[in-house]
């Protein structure tokens, strides 16, 4: 029994030592450390030793900005606005898809047999209204975050 435990623990020990990295290795990393794209706006963050370079795009326009103390907050706000817009767009898509599925199911059940809808009908309608409410809330949040993206983009490119 002990030999089986040792056989299992030795590879685990090798895996743990291979996966552990010290702070010096993390600081020397160079390459792309973040990127996101939402509705035409895109950013790519590239780290080269101790400097960060941001590539900001909108449709065909492309700007390369070096991060410094003056624009660091604006770049971070742009990044957060783009990420939040992406999450809100996903939420909107999921809730609209759910609403369409519920509405289609309700329509099919109404066509087949109206008596079948007497008990679950109100629950299905409530689910449809809840999904419609969440999707409308996500739409308004998306327009707000998208305005933030435009604002920070204009600040960075002017």
Nearest to 62 by CA among 158, 150, 157, 128: 157
Q: What is the pLDDT of residue 4?
A: 63
Q: What is the pLDDT of residue 117?
A: 64
Per-residue pLDDT of the chain (158 residues; tens, 9 = 90+): 566 665 666 676 667 666 655 554 555 667 888 888 888 889 889 888 888 888 999 888 889 888 888 888 988 999 999 999 999 999 999 999 988 888 888 787 777 776 666 677 777 778 888 888 999 999 999 999 999 999 999 998 88
Q: What is the pTM assigned to this prediction?
A: 0.71
Q: What is the DSSP string of 54-91?
A: EEEEETTEEEEEE--TTTHHHHHHHHHHHHHHHHHHHH
Please tell me the total count of domains within the chain: 1
Joined tokens for residue 119 = 């008990």
d(CA 54, CA 72) in angstroms, rounded, equals 10
Structural domain range at position 52: 2-157
Residue written as token pair 């900005």: 65
Q: What is the pLDDT of residue 93?
A: 92
The sign of the torsion formed by the CA atoms of 68, 74, 77, 83 equals negative
């Amino acid at each position: 029994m002990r030999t089986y435990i040792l056989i299992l623990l030795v590879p685990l020990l090798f895996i743990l030592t291979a996966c552990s990295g010290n702070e010096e290795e993390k600081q020397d990393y160079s390459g792309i450390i973040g990127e996101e794209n939402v509705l035409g706006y895109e950013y790519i963050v590239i780290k080269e030793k101790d400097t960060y370079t941001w590539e900001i795009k909108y449709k065909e326009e492309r700007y390369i900005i070096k991060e410094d103390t003056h624009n660091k907050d604006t770049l971070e706000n742009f990044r957060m606005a783009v990420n939040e817009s992406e999450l809100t767009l996903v939420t909107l898509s999921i809730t609209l898809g759910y609403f369409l599925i519920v509405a289609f199911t309700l329509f099919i059940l109404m066509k087949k047999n109206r008596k079948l809808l007497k008990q679950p009908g109100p629950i299905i309608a409530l689910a449809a209204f809840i999904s419609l409410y969440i999707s409308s809330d996500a739409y308004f949040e998306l327009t707000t975050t998208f305005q933030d993206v435009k604002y920070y983009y204009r600040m960075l490119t002017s």
